[in-house]
């Protein structure tokens, strides 16, 4: 099994669904002036992101990171208005 096979499996499964995830990620200035990251999506999109996060945190997953980009790998999971991708990295316990 390759290092990223569990996360790749999730991406493949969601890419074959009739309704695919469409995440939108943008910078947002909070009311207190501090920058925040806005992650928007419908239920399918948020469930997809949740599965990626949960899988990266599981002991069965040997992958240490996932990189999804609106202009590269994983672009089918992003809304056209998305300004940013996501790089999720698990650090040592």
DSSP code of residue 8 = H
Give the chain's domain count.
1
- What is the domain range of residue 24? 5-89
User: What is the C-alpha to C-alpha distance for residues 42 and 51, in angstroms, rounded to an integer?
Assistant: 14
pLDDT beyond 80 at 7? yes
The per-residue pLDDT for range 37-80, each reduced to its tens digit, is 999 999 999 999 999 999 999 988 888 899 999 999 899 999 99
Looking at residue 76, its pLDDT comes to 95
Give the chain's mean pLDDT: 90
For range 33-37, the mean pLDDT: 89
Residue whose C-alpha is closest to residue 26's, from 77, 56, 70: 70
Any alpha helices (H) in 1-93, and if so which ranges?
A: 5-15, 43-56
Which range (2-16, 24-38, 58-72) has the least confidence? 2-16
Judge whether 77 and 13 are in contact, CB under 8 Å. no
Report the C-alpha gap between 87 and 52 in whole angstroms. 11
């Amino acid at each position: 099994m390759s290092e990223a096979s569990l996360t790749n499996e999730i991406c493949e499964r969601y890419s074959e669904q009739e309704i695919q995830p469409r995440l939108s990620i943008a910078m947002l200035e909070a009311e207190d002036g501090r920058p925040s990251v806005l992650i928007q999506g419908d239920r399918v999109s948020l469930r997809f992101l949740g599965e990626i996060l949960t899988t990266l945190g599981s002991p069965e997953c040997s992958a240490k990171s996932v990189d999804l980009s609106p202009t590269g790998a994983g672009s089918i999971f992003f809304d056209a208005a998305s300004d940013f991708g996501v790089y999720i990295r698990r650090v040592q316990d």
